[in-house]
């Protein structure tokens, strides 16, 4: 969970300091946003590739190695002389970080009994929620008062702490099922798995069409300053924390399908409030709060459903889902960047609503394909 926390801050951090990156590196807001877009493209390619290449590596050493590279890259980013070097360092970090989230979920599956797997996987993904709840407001605070280089230095130091904890607590002798071509072909023939991957892409694309540019959108639409933007990020994260903690408590009784329907509906409702209330900071913050209640559980429920849909290839399925998550990030941040650069600040909300409404429809449709799987 702590590894997901530092990885999440490292990957999402630029969204909370686009203005500082833009000013400090002499690039536009949209170009600063490409740190998210290009990073997401690299992550989506490397997640299944690295999962395949590392499938026979002992899990303890793999997780430790990933966080070690994340720590080095964040510390190196603090000294990047220009935008090109910072982007290059980020891409290296994304290549290394790509397998962490799916393999962390796989390791948890080895450490807990089957009846606790759903809630335990959701708990591991709490790290990403905490990255939004604590990390992004912290990034905004540090960047606005000290600078973006200091942010990377702090994240690098936190990554070193995570590295030490992994070395201390993760047991030896954990090996996942080897991933080969037959694993990928079996997943490609599983219609439920394919639909779940599409749902992930739609959910994330909708969110990142707003999320990547949330701070500058709050400034353009509602006149929000740094502290107000940090407060909205904090609301988003705290509500996300509450949402995922609730999900971990109800999922064993409700099942991941119904929990997924609830969380996606909350995200759609929150985005609708954001869109309708654009221009009014309090209303937009309320929309972010409702959105936050759902976002924390969305990804973890997708991971749980995938593991249940393909038990023999759970780690591979989760790695593909992580890849689709980053495809969604690239699509959403790319669309959001084009709209922002064109001055269409209101339009991103309607785009987000369309993505989430389609995702919700697909989740409801997935019940038909899940009739032979315990959901």
pLDDT tens-place string over residues 84-125: 999 999 999 998 888 887 778 778 878 888 777 767 777 787
Is it the case that residue 177 has pLDDT exceeding 80?
Answer: no
| Residue matched to tokens 């038909």 | 368
The long-range contacts involving 85-93, CB below 8 angstroms and separated by at least 24 positions, are 86/25, 86/35, 87/34, 87/35, 87/38, 90/35, 90/38, 90/39, 91/38, 91/39, 91/42, 93/10, 93/39, 93/69
- Select the more confidently predicted residue: 370 or 92: 92
Nearest residue to 260 (alpha-carbon basis) of 366, 350, 187, 105: 366
Q: Could you say which DSSP state residue 58 is in? A: -
Is it the case that residue 328 has pLDDT exceeding 70?
Answer: yes
pLDDT at 373: 47
Mean model confidence pLDDT for the chain? 87
Is-contact 121 303, C-beta < 8 A?
yes
Q: In CATH, what number does 2-369 get?
A: 1.20.1250.20
Q: For residue 208, what are the contacts with CB-CB under 8 A and spacing of at least 6?
A: 36, 40, 328, 329, 331, 332, 333, 336
Q: How far apart are CA 82 and CA 86, in angstroms?
A: 6
Continuous segment of H or E residues that includes residue 332: helix 314-341
Is it the case that residue 353 has pLDDT exceeding 80?
Answer: yes
Give the number of other Cβ atoms within 10 Å of residue 115's Cβ. Answer: 9
Q: For residue 253, what are the contacts with CB-CB under 8 A and spacing of at least 6?
A: none
Continuous segment of H or E residues that includes residue 87: helix 83-97
* Secondary structure (3-state) at 79: coil
195 CA to centre of own chain: 19
Is it the case that residue 161 has pLDDT exceeding 50?
Answer: yes
pLDDT at 179: 64
pLDDT at 374: 43
- Select the more confidently predicted residue: 323 or 69: 69
pLDDT at 375: 42
pLDDT at 176: 65
- Select the more confidently predicted residue: 304 or 294: 294
43 CA to centre of own chain: 11
């Amino acid at each position: 969970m702590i590894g997901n926390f530092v990885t999440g801050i490292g990957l999402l951090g630029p969204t909370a300091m686009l203005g500082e990156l833009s000013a400090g590196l002499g690039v536009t807001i949209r170009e600063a946003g490409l740190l998210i877009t290009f990073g997401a493209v690299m992550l989506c390619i490397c997640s299944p590739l690295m999962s395949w290449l590392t499938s026979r590596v002992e899990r303890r050493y793999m997780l430790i190695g990933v966080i070690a590279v994340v720590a080095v890259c964040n510390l190196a980013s603090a000294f990047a002389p220009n935008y090109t070097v910072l982007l290059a360092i980020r891409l290296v970090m994304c290549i290394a970080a790509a397998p962490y989230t799916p393999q962390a979920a796989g390791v948890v599956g080895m450490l807990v009994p089957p009846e606790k797997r759903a809630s335990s996987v959701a708990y591991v993904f709490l790290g990403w929620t905490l990255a939004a709840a604590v990390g992004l407001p912290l990034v905004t605070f540090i960047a606005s008062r000290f600078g973006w280089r200091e942010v990377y230095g702090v994240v690098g130091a936190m990554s070193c702490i995570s590295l030490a904890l992994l070395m201390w607590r993760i047991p030896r002798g954990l090996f996942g099922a080897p991933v080969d071509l037959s694993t990928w072909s079996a997943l490609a023939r599983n219609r439920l798995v394919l639909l779940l991957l599409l749902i992930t892409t739609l959910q994330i694309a909708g969110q990142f069409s707003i999320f990547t540019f949330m701070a500058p959108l709050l400034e353009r639409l509602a006149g929000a300053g740094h502290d107000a933007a940090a407060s909205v990020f904090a609301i988003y994260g705290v509500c996300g924390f509450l949402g995922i903690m609730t999900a971990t408590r109800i999922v064993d009784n409700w099942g991941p399908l119904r929990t997924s329907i609830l969380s996606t509906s909350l995200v759609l409702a929150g985005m609708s409030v954001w869109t309708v209330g654009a221009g009014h900071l309090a209303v937009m913050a309320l929309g972010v709060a409702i959105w936050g209640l759902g976002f924390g559980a969305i990804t973890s429920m997708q991971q749980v459903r995938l593991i249940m849909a393909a038990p023999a290839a759970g780690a591979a399925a989760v790695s593909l889902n992580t890849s689709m998550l980053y495809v969604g990030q690239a699509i959403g941040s790319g669309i959001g960047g084009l709209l922002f650069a064109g001055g269409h600040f209101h339009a991103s909300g309607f785009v987000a609503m369309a993505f989430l409404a389609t995702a919700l429809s697909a989740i409801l449709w997935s019940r038909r394909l899940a009739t032979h799987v315990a959901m």
